[in-house]
Structure formats: C-alpha cells, structure tokens
C-alpha cells in the first residue's frame, strides 16, 4: 500500500478506532487508568513523527514569496479568528466546549494540509515552505487568542500553569527533537529514508490515540453527543467561510490559481494534533474539550472530500 492511499482512507481508520475504543471503554471500564497513562507517550511519539514531516529549517524559502506569505498569515491569524468570533455565539454556554472549539479552530494545520494541497491541485512547494511559519506563529499566538476569547471563563476552575507540562513535554520537546533529527537528515542524502519511514507513523498513531481517548473518556463522549450536533453545524460553517475567505484574499493579493488553492486548504484545515495534548492535560470537568477536538478532525476529513471537488473544480477552477 502506498502512503498516499493510507492518508486518503484515514477517516475510516479513525472511525473504526473510535468505535473500538468505545466498545473497550464500555466492556472494560477498569482499563481507563492504564489507557490514560499510556496515552501520553503515544501522543508524544505522534507529535514527534508529525513534526519530523514539517520542514522546520525552510523558513527563508517561506519568506521569499511575500504575497502568498502575507495572504496566509492574514488569513490564518487575523481573518480566521474573526470568523471564529462570529461563529462562537452560536455555541452553548459551556466553557469546556467553547475552549475545545477555540483550541482547534484557531490554529492552522501543519500535517495533512500538505497532502490535501497536493490532491487538490495546489502548490505543494508553497505549502511545504509556509508550514513552519504557521507552526511557530500558532504556538506564539494561541495564548493571546484564548485570553481574548475566554479570559474570564478560563479563570473558572482552570489554572494555566497546569498545562505547562503538556506544553513542554508533549509539544516543545518533540518539536526540538524533530528539528535535531531533520538537521541530522539534511547532512546526508541517504538519511532521507528515515524521514520517509516516519511519515507512515502519524495515521496509525493518531488512530491509537483516538481509540484510547474513546475508551478512557467513554462517559464524556456519550455525554457530549447532544452538544456535538450544534458543534457540527459550526464546523461546517467554518469550512465554508474559510474557503470563501481564501477566495477573497487570493483576489486581493493577486495569487495564482495554484496558490489560491493552497491558501484555501491552509485556512480550511486545523491543527488538532498540536492542541490535543493541551486539552487532555485539562483538569477534571473539562473533558468535553477533548471530545470536540477529536470530533473536529473527523468533520474536517469529510469536509476535505468536499474541498477536493469544490476547490479545484469550482472555487479555483482553471489554470494560470
């Protein structure tokens, strides 16, 4: 099986993993503590394998295309937060649910965004070059966004200091190790095979993560089902609005058709991998945040099936 085939069918793998996890959680509820303990190293390995695929040392190449870079940064870090702000009032008044939605919608994707750009006729090289900028910008800006959106609500039963171990142990440490490995790989062409082998890891590892979350948080998953209907419509509205924002920015910055498609996939895909550790590290009572983040990933994958038709054949049709 080719790696691209695995990524095309990943949504079905995740659905099967969630179903298996729910069955395990209901059949063997005593396994929850063991799964909670196992979740952290698996999640760290997932993020490491994901970060290895991000060209962390390609920042100069990303900065070279000023128009595309400007459109991407304005879209992801100015217009998308404004879109989320417009959608947020439609959510129930539940701090945990709102926090989960904000965590996942405010940060652009750094992994399968490149895959869908390639499948959708976008500019893969631009997608690769802009990814490290998106990753670094979201790590810097996410705390500011959360303070602006939920400043008062975050103070209710949530101590941000409790998230520091997850931030450093599950995000910054894997990021640093991935950068060191990339530096080692870049030193010799024969070492590229290591990176290619690691590219197979994210899909099965994420399937294992969502299965363990479903098994250990089965009551939270089942309890959140009514709210997920409202969240579903918000996620669908976000996918539609993000693509239309990309179209407007592409016209404003006079981007090529391929660059416009790349921008649309950048604005439409979100970085659930990176924010998931933060949600899992939240104290008791905030489990809904984890559920809505995992749910967003599934909605987004189905949405990308629509994007792969709509973006290249309707919204950004034709050639340059």
Is 58 a residue whose pLDDT tops 70?
no
Is 185 a residue whose pLDDT tops 80?
yes
Phi, psi angles (nearest 5°) of residue 86: -70, -30
Using the structure block, give the residue that is written with the tokens 């899909």: 203
For a pLDDT cut of 70, what percent of the chain falls above it? 93
pLDDT digits (tens, 9 = 90+) for 103-146: 999 999 988 898 899 889 999 888 988 888 899 899 999 989 98
**How would you class 140 by CB atoms within 10 Å of its CB: exposed for 0-12, middle for 13-18, buried for 19 or more?**
exposed
Q: Which of 39-43, 189-193, 243-247 has the lowest mean pLDDT?
A: 189-193
pLDDT digits (tens, 9 = 90+) for 297-319: 999 999 999 999 999 999 999 77
For a pLDDT cut of 90, what percent of the chain falls above it? 55
The structural domains of the chain, with segments of one domain joined by +, span 3-315
Looking at every residue in the chain, the average pLDDT score rounds to: 89
Mean pLDDT of 80-94: 94
pLDDT digits (tens, 9 = 90+) for 210-237: 999 999 888 888 888 888 888 999 999 9
- pLDDT higher at 314 or 64: 314
Q: Give 62's pLDDT tier (boundaries 50, 70, 90).
A: low
Is 63 a residue whose pLDDT tops 80?
no
Sequence-distant (≥ 6) Cβ neighbours of residue 266 within 8 angstroms:
72, 75, 76, 108, 109, 113, 117, 127, 130, 134, 246
- pLDDT of res. 151: 74
pLDDT digits (tens, 9 = 90+) for 97-107: 999 999 999 99
Q: Which of 4-13, 37-46, 171-180, 192-201 has the lowest mean pLDDT?
A: 4-13
- pLDDT of res. 69: 93
Mean pLDDT of 180-195: 85
pLDDT digits (tens, 9 = 90+) for 144-183: 998 888 876 665 556 666 677 888 888 889 999 999 998 8
The CATH number that domain 3-315 falls under is: 1.20.1530.20
């Amino acid at each position: 099986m080719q790696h691209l085939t695995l990524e095309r069918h990943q949504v079905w793998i995740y659905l099967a993993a969630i179903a298996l996890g729910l069955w395990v959680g209901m059949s063997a509820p005593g396994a929850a503590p063991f799964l909670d303990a196992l979740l952290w190293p698996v999640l760290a390995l997932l993020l490491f394998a994901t970060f290895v695929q991000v060209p962390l040392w390609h920042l100069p190449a990303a900065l070279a295309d000023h128009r595309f870079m400007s459109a991407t940064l304005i879209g992801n870090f100015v217009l998308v937060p404004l879109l989320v702000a417009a959608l947020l009032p439609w959510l129930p008044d539940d701090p945990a649910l709102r926090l989960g939605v904000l965590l996942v919608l405010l940060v652009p994707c750094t992994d399968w965004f490149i895959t869908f750009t390639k499948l959708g006729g976008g500019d893969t090289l631009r997608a690769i070059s802009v990814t490290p900028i998106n990753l670094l910008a979201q790590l810097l800006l996410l705390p500011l966004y959360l303070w602006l959106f939920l400043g008062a609500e975050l103070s209710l039963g949530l101590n941000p200091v409790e998230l520091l171990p997850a931030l450093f142990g599950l995000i910054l440490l894997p990021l640093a190790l991935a950068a060191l490995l990339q530096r080692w790989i870049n030193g010799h062409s024969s070492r590229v095979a290591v990176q290619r082998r690691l590219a197979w890891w994210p899909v099965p590892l994420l399937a294992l993560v969502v299965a363990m979350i479903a098994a250990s948080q089965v009551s939270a998953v089942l309890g959140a089902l009514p709210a997920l209907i409202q969240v579903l419509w918000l996620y669908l509205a976000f996918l539609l609005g993000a693509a239309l924002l990309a179209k407007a920015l592409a016209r404003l910055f006079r981007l090529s058709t391929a660059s416009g498609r790349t921008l649309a996939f950048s604005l439409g895909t979100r970085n659930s991998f990176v924010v998931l550790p933060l949600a899992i590290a939240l104290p008791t009572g905030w489990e809904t945040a984890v559920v809505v983040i995992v749910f967003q990933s599934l909605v987004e994958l189905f949405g990308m099936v629509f994007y792969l038709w709509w973006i290249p054949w309707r919204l950004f049709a034709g050639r340059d």
